[in-house]
Amino acid sequence: MQINIKKTINTIVMVTLIITFLPGCKKENADNPDPIPVVDNSPVITGMSNTGALPNSVITITGSNLGSANVGATVTFNGVAATISSLSATEIVVTVPSTATTGKIAVTVGGKTVTSTSNFVVKTGNVTTLSTTYVEHLAVDAAGNIYGDASTAIYKITVGGVTTLFGGTVNTNVNNPIKSAWGIAVDTAGNLYLPDIRAYAIHKVSKTGVITRLAGNGTAGTLDGKDTAARFTYPKGIAIDKAGNLYVTDKYRVRKVTPAGVVSTLAGSGVKGDVNGQGTAAQFGELEGIAVDASGNVYVADLDYKRIRKITSAGVVSTLAGSGTAGFADGAGTSAQFFYPQGMAVDAAGNVFVSDGDFQSSYYAIRMINKNGVVSTFMKGSDAPVKTGPVNTATVNFPDGIAFDAAGNMYITNTGSGIVSKVTIN
């Protein structure tokens, strides 16, 4: 056999090179492993419960990597630090600072900051006089018309401020006269509802001014039931939910009246007291103002115990704000003080507004309670003539009724001067 020496030498060289090269490749891969992917844990904002709100309102910021109890987070509104009430990786509940101005919201977590893509609008208000007709309580229909009660009469105030006696003279109904209305509510169809403290009844007034009795028969009592089988002790404040159910403050109880006129007791034993609980296990002092929010929670003003109480749709009663001692202290929950809380209303953001006053010192105010129960003073006032202008300089005079229209504007009855003020929220 003839051997090709040249070819054999080339083959040996090639094999040697391959053997030499392979260990080098393995060593190089061991020294330089594939890089570990870098995870971006920067905070991300995906949404907000409100794109604008009044100072001291509570909003929710949603997103990812927003922090935790261990990592923490900070939030600023146009550079002003805000108070965080709850925090998770996907949600921050925060209060709009009282001194905040319109601008970007910034969230900082672990040294990394994300800024909202658009400005958050910090809303303000401007006060004007809508009407000089004396009314005590207010309700607003879907078209923005305002209705106010003045004992035995009802007035209608248009968006432009034109005031007329609603339905002519509504008290001429001989079979069912209004004796002393002490509140007013309006449903989506434009029907009005009036609690009457002297007729012990709830009146219904149609859009054309026709009066019928929805519940109660003119005799004082505390019976639940339908139509005239029900009895009321001292029906005062009234509010309506989106389903058309009415809620009425009745001395030491809160009563519920369905659109069909079926009356039940939502909460309160009927005995004066300051006790939280469910249904008739709860106790109240004398109740007046009442309001209901979009979720069906009911809020009542307790005149005797100087508190604002919250009642769920299941009748569970808790104290939203108020220490039980008369005063005008702002603050959280039971550290706040009210002097004589009366009219109430809830805005679209869930803030509860309360008219408050001290008759002896002639100091009055509109108080605001946010969803966390923190109380602040929205407007101040005295016995002096009502001042218009920005809310921080405008005044109220013995305010009582409060209502909001669909656009978020507020209306206030100044019973000390017979003026209905409009607060344009912008």
**Is the pLDDT at 22 greater than 60, yes or no?**
no
Task: Please give the pLDDT value at position 82.
Answer: 96
Task: Characterize the bridge pairing of strands 52-53 and 121-122.
Answer: parallel
Residues 332 and 314: their CA atoms lie apart, in Å, by: 25
**Is the pLDDT at 350 greater than 80, yes or no?**
yes
Q: Which two tokens stand for residue 166?
A: 């609603």
Higher-confidence residue of 139 and 24: namely 139
pLDDT tens track for 292-307: 999 999 999 999 999 9
Q: Which two tokens stand for residue 342?
A: 């009366």
Q: What single letter denotes the amino acid at residue 192?
A: L
Residues 319 and 54: their CA atoms lie apart, in Å, by: 23
Higher-confidence residue of 363 and 9: namely 363
Task: Please give the pLDDT value at position 210.
Answer: 87
Strand, coil or helix: what is 199?
coil
What does each C-alpha distance from 89 to 40, 61, 249, 417 come to in angstroms?
A: 14, 11, 42, 52
Q: What single letter denotes the amino acid at residue 214?
A: L
Residues contacting 170, CB < 8 A, separation 6+:
152, 153, 154, 178, 205, 209, 211
What does each C-alpha distance from 289 to 77, 157, 322, 342 come to in angstroms?
A: 34, 22, 15, 5
| Span of 119-128, 177-186, 263-272 with lowest mean pLDDT | 177-186
What's the predicted TM-score (pTM) here?
Answer: 0.89
Task: Please give the pLDDT value at position 173.
Answer: 56
Domains of the chain (ranges, CATH numbers): 44-122 (2.60.40.10), 125-425 (2.120.10.30)
